[in-house]
Chains A and B, each alone.
Chain A
Amino acid sequence: MNQTTQTPTGLSVRGLGGSASGPPRARARRRLHSEQWAAWAFLTPVTVYLLAFFAYPLYRNLDLSLRDYTVRSFVSGGAEFIGLANHRKVLGDPAFAPALTHTVVFTLVSLAFQFAIGLALAVFFAKSFRLSAILRALFLVPWLLPLIVSASTWSWMLNSDSGVVNAALRLVGIAPVHWLTSPQWSLLSVILANVWIGIPFNLVVLYNGLQSIPAQLYEAAQIDGANGWQQFWRVTFPLLRPVSAITLLLGLVYTLKVFDLIWIMTRGGPSDSSTTLATWSYRLSFGNLLPEFGPGAAVGNLLIVMALAAGLIYIRAQKRQYQR
């Protein structure tokens, strides 16, 4: 049982993909065999599902990135296989370095604020109070809106001349800010909107994670004389770790691929100041009269690699934690 953590109160927690503990051999092998059968029986639906619905798009994306697609060969086929030339082209593009920097800043800052605010709200809502269920549900409303509407609303509010944010600033005597139209502010503005969109996700997942922590643990901690802060750090935080980790990982994946929000608010501009890899990929493939599918898909692949790297780090961190 070396791969489980012992919490102060004796509940064991294991993370995603934690591997088997080792019972005695001979009998174990037979049992392992039948266990494997059962395990994969449970996995069959999702495997079939993945093969049926993800394989073709994934293959399309790879194929697009490895061939020299023009609009003509996109339609009639016969695009030449050019290996990694599309990837080399985008890596050598002067737009690459800023796009990468913006992606990293956009992702990390969004993630940090979404998670912190989401966790704070989850803790706040964890103790039920009058209206708490309704208010918690209302926090989900932003997710009911098609992104084209919520992003347009943000762009509306942040408009330099007729936006409500600048109108409010003017009321308190601050000069208007060109939120979306100046290279200094545009990235910050799209991060702001993205944090807003991400809060409900973090709130709901973390809140339900909190609900899964047995109340007895808090009672025990209280008997031991722990105050609220200590309870948070000693009970809540460690027990919430698997859920937190997956929330962050998923948040990272979702933030990396955000393009529509930025596209609607700034088109990645002005002067590429809010262009991330995802918006760049979209602009190459769809944002122009003459689509460049190959380079667009190549940028998409870079994003997949970034997400995979994060996934590896996640699994590594999980393992180290359990081996302690």
Chain B
Amino acid sequence: MTAQRSWPRTVLGLVLTGVMLFPVYWMINVSFTRQGDMRKSPPNWFPVDGTVEGYRSVLRDQLPYLGTSLLVGLGTVALTLIVAAPAAYSLAKLNPRGGRALSFVLLMAQMIPGIIMAMGFYAIYLNLGLLNSVAGLIVADSTIAVPFAVLIFTAFMAGIPDEVMHAAKVDGAGPWRTFWSVALPVSRNATVTVSLFAFLWAWSDFVYASTLDSGGAQRPITLGIYHYIGNNNQEWNAIMATAVVASIPATVLIIIAQRYVAAGVTSGAVKD
């Protein structure tokens, strides 16, 4: 497709993205708003007479925690992939006895309210001494992603033609080789999907972080919000500023990842 013909699509794409991100814009707008103008009626559409007070305190207090968030996000992605991909391969292609029951349990596992999960983890971690640790938070965050990842991987891997598997088997590949060098590379799109969501969930998690990690020195950035939620008062411009500061590096990361992945896909890993 030539660049010229794609122009209308780009314009439409920009408009759609604009509509979709309007609430995000509004959040940014609030983050720059002075206390006195926050509930002005009608509201300011742009942060005229804005303040950077919120950002000043966020940049002063919260920046070190970005690293923790990144570590937790990537750790969650890794753990999720390690646990989920083999399981999904088995469920989709190897017909394990009891596999459906397992799928059911996975479905049910996602219905346990996050707070109950957090309460359970609290009890377990207290005894293991894992409270306020990055590793503990990675494990807890991965519980949001693992059931999802297994089910998504299964749906994608079920789409791999059986002939491809048979061909590998005829070539003498064992189940592990077939999984590693056939199923996994073909499931690149599923891997991308799962990794993205595992990362997003871990990055924006609040429930686990506040239950399991609120006393530690290595807190994720989302908990920085608490710094601005007093027992009687909330500083909304700083809260919104924290969210903006927290989402910028992650957005950049996702854009880079998507470009890289898009390039990889078109270069032909999936063809044939």
Q: Kindly list chain A residues whose C-beta atoms are within 8 Å of the C-beta of B82.
A: 45
- Taking a contact as CB atoms under 8 Å apart, the answer to whether B151 and A135 are in contact is no
- Taking a contact as CB atoms under 8 Å apart, the answer to whether A242 and B155 are in contact is yes
Q: Kindly list chain A residues whose C-beta atoms are within 8 Å of the C-beta of B90.
A: 38-43
Q: Kindly list chain B residues whose C-beta atoms are within 8 Å of the C-beta of A138.
A: 17, 20-21, 251, 255
Q: Kindly list chain A residues whose C-beta atoms are within 8 Å of the C-beta of B155.
A: 15-16, 242-243, 245-246
Partner of A17, one of B87, B99, B111: B99
Is B9 an interface residue when CB atoms closer than 8 A count as contact? yes
- Taking a contact as CB atoms under 8 Å apart, the answer to whether A205 and B91 are in contact is no
Task: Encode contact with A along B1-43: 1 for CB under 8 Å, 0 otherwise.
Answer: 1010011011011101100110110110010000000111111
Interface residues on A, range: 35 or more
Alpha-carbon separation in the docked complex, A53 to B154 (Å)? 21
Nearest CB on B from A292, distance (A): 14
Q: Kindly list chain A residues whose C-beta atoms are within 8 Å of the C-beta of B107.
A: 249, 253, 307-308, 311
Nearest CB on B from A282, distance (A): 8
Q: Kindly list chain B residues whose C-beta atoms are within 8 Å of the C-beta of A124.
A: 9, 12-13, 16
Is B129 an interface residue when CB atoms closer than 8 A count as contact? no
Q: Kindly list chain B residues whose C-beta atoms are within 8 Å of the C-beta of A259.
A: 113
| Cβ-closest chain A residue relative to B41 | A162
In chain A between 263 and 301, which residues have their CB closer than 8 angstroms to a CB of chain B?
Answer: 278, 281-282, 285-286, 297, 300
Nearest CB on A from B26, distance (A): 6
Among B20, B30, B123, B271, chain A packs the most CB atoms within 10 A around the CB of B20
Is B60 an interface residue when CB atoms closer than 8 A count as contact? no
Is A97 an interface residue when CB atoms closer than 8 A count as contact? no
In chain B between 197 and 217, which residues have their CB closer than 8 angstroms to a CB of chain A?
Answer: 197, 200-201, 203-206
Is A211 an interface residue when CB atoms closer than 8 A count as contact? yes
Q: Kindly list chain A residues whose C-beta atoms are within 8 Å of the C-beta of B204.
A: 143-147
Say yes or no: A167-B96 contact (C-beta < 8 A), given A50-B106, A157-B26, A308-B104: no
- Taking a contact as CB atoms under 8 Å apart, the answer to whether A208 and B23 are in contact is no
Is B185 an interface residue when CB atoms closer than 8 A count as contact? no
| Cβ-closest chain A residue relative to B23 | A153
Q: Kindly list chain A residues whose C-beta atoms are within 8 Å of the C-beta of B3.
A: 130
Is A91 an interface residue when CB atoms closer than 8 A count as contact? no
Nearest CB on B from A171, distance (A): 9
- Taking a contact as CB atoms under 8 Å apart, the answer to whether A42 and B94 are in contact is yes
Alpha-carbon separation in the docked complex, A154 to B30 (Å)? 12
Nearest CB on B from A215, distance (A): 8
Alpha-carbon separation in the docked complex, A32 to B163 (Å)? 19
- Taking a contact as CB atoms under 8 Å apart, the answer to whether B43 and A250 are in contact is no
Alpha-carbon separation in the docked complex, A312 to B235 (Å)? 47
- Taking a contact as CB atoms under 8 Å apart, the answer to whether B206 and A167 are in contact is no
The stretch of A99-107, A183-191, A196-204 in contact with B is: A196-204
In chain B between 218 and 253, which residues have their CB closer than 8 angstroms to a CB of chain A?
Answer: 222, 225, 236, 239-240, 243, 246-247, 250-251
Is B65 an interface residue when CB atoms closer than 8 A count as contact? no
Task: Encode contact with B along A141-178: 1 for CB under 8 Å, 0 otherwise.
Answer: 11111111110111011010111100100100000000
Alpha-carbon separation in the docked complex, A127 to B201 (Å)? 28
Interface residues on B, range: 35 or more
Q: Kindly list chain B residues whose C-beta atoms are within 8 Å of the C-beta of A40.
A: 90, 96
Nearest CB on A from B248, distance (A): 9
In chain B between 153 and 174, which residues have their CB closer than 8 angstroms to a CB of chain A?
Answer: 154-156, 158-159, 161-163, 174
Alpha-carbon separation in the docked complex, A135 to B251 (Å)? 11
Q: Kindly list chain A residues whose C-beta atoms are within 8 Å of the C-beta of B83.
A: 45-46, 49
- Taking a contact as CB atoms under 8 Å apart, the answer to whether A250 and B111 are in contact is no
In chain A between 199 and 230, which residues have their CB closer than 8 angstroms to a CB of chain B?
Answer: 199, 201, 204-205, 208-209, 211-212, 214-215
Say yes or no: A159-B39 contact (C-beta < 8 A), given A60-B116, A164-B45: yes
| Cβ-closest chain B residue relative to A18 | B158
In chain B between 85 and 108, which residues have their CB closer than 8 angstroms to a CB of chain A?
Answer: 86-87, 89-92, 94-97, 99-100, 102-108
Given A46-B83, A300-B112, 20 additional A-B pairs, CB 8 A: A42-B89, A43-B87, A43-B99, A56-B120, A61-B112, A129-B13, A130-B7, A139-B17, A144-B200, A144-B250, A145-B243, A146-B204, A148-B225, A153-B23, A167-B42, A170-B42, A208-B189, A242-B155, A281-B113, A303-B111
Q: A residues within 8 Å of B by Cβ?
A: 4, 11-20, 35-36, 38-43, 45-47, 49-50, 53-54, 56-58, 60-61, 64, 121, 124-125, 127-150, 152-154, 156-157, 159, 161-164, 167, 170, 196, 199, 201, 204-205, 208-209, 211-212, 214-215, 239, 242-243, 245-246, 249-250, 253-254, 256-257, 259, 278, 281-282, 285-286, 297, 300, 303-304, 307-308, 311, 315
> When A and B form their complex, which 3 residue pairs have the shortest distance between CB atoms, in order from nearest?
A57-B120, A39-B96, A42-B90
**9 CB-based A-B contacts, threshold 8 Å:** A42-B94, A42-B96, A130-B6, A132-B9, A144-B250, A167-B41, A167-B42, A307-B111, A308-B107
